[in-house]
């Protein structure tokens, strides 16, 4: 007789349970990302603002003209925005996890959370960032802000649709060529489709002459670091919480009665 598994899957919790855990994980991830943004990103923002004020003349005072003080922007404003962003992404990722669990292979809740988190990071953050990277203050024409935002959102939508198409392609190919070959073909198709989208969508280059290239790239790397920390922290925390919700603890061993 086979011995029972030390861990067993508990009855599947409702999507609401995983949604709440995903939002909690997103809140914690947002708190960690806020620290990274404050330590890495804000010094670059201050440096860019200083350059902007210097270019506008000594009479230009960014802090005086802004309806919210720069200190408040860099603390409470930044923290609130990052926390809300983390909660929203956590909820979306939790719902994707609910759908993916058991449908992308025989992975447990924690491994599924890691795969879903990695896929969402690539789709929602990395692919759009490589085409339209973040810019510090003083970079970008205010008159084209709406156009730049629309192009960035379009890149996110295209990336998500192409990722979904690659997933469907891999599932269709798997019975004929095996899971490994199907995954490789789907990944190659996704990369090729993204390359075509990059080529067809217009580029944006509004960096003013004389803006320090080192400051620009430091800001962009800091922005990417914030996103990477956010998703990595979420994946670790949500994987732990999802496993706690979906996997029962090991059953206690019964004491063996001594034979007389």
> Does 182 reside within a domain?
yes
Which among 159, 145, 238, 250 has a CA at the least distance from the CA of 201? 159
Residue 8 has pLDDT above 70, yes or no: no
Q: What is the Cα gyration radius of the chain?
A: 23
Question: Are both 56 and 134 inside the same structural domain?
Answer: yes
Domain hosting residue 165, numbered range:
141-206
Question: Are both 102 and 160 inside the same structural domain?
Answer: no
Which among 103, 112, 124 has a CA at the least distance from the CA of 170? 103
Over range 223-227, report the average pLDDT.
Answer: 96
Rounded to two decimals, what is the model's pTM? Answer: 0.83
CA–CA dist 148, 145 (Å, integer): 5
Number of domains in the chain: 2
Over range 220-225, report the average pLDDT.
Answer: 95
Which among 252, 241, 199, 258 has a CA at the least distance from the CA of 22? 241
Question: Are both 130 and 17 inside the same structural domain?
Answer: yes
pLDDT in the model for residue 57: 65
> Does 259 reside within a domain?
no
Evaluate whether 138 touches 211 at the Cβ level (below 8 Å): yes
CA–CA dist 94, 116 (Å, integer): 9
* Residue 152 CB partners (closer than 8 Å, separation 6+): 128, 132
Q: Which residues pair with 8 in a beta bridge?
A: 248
CA–CA dist 101, 115 (Å, integer): 10
Confidence of residue 14 (pLDDT cuts 50, 70, 90): confident
Question: Are both 153 and 31 inside the same structural domain?
Answer: no
> Does 254 reside within a domain?
no
């Amino acid at each position: 007789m086979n011995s029972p598994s030390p861990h067993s899957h508990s009855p599947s919790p409702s999507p609401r349970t995983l949604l709440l855990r995903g939002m909690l994980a997103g809140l914690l991830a947002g708190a960690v990302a806020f620290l990274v943004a404050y330590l890495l990103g804000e010094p670059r923002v201050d440096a860019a603002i200083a350059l902007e004020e210097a270019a506008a003349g000594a009479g230009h005072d960014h802090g005086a003209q802004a309806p919210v003080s720069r200190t408040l922007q860099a603390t409470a404003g930044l923290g609130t925005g990052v926390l809300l962003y983390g909660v929203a992404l956590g909820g979306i990722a939790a719902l994707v996890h609910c759908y993916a669990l058991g449908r992308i292979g025989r992975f447990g809740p924690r491994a599924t959370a890691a795969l879903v988190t990695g896929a969402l990071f690539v789709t929602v953050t990395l692919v759009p960032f490589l085409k339209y990277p973040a810019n510090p203050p003083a970079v970008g024409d205010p008159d084209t802000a709406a156009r730049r935002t629309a192009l960035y959102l379009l890149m996110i939508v295209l990336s998500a649709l192409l990722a979904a198409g690659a997933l469907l392609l891999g599932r269709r190919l798997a019975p004929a060529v095996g899971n490994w070959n199907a995954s490789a073909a789907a990944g190659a198709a996704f990369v090729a489709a993204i390359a075509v989208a990059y080529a067809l969508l217009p580029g944006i280059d509004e960096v003013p002459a004389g803006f320090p290239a080192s400051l620009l790239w430091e800001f962009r790397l800091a922005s990417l670091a914030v996103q990477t920390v956010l998703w990595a922290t979420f994946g670790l925390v949500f994987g732990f919480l999802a496993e706690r919700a979906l996997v029962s603890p090991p059953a206690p061993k019964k004491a063996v009665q001594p034979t007389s």
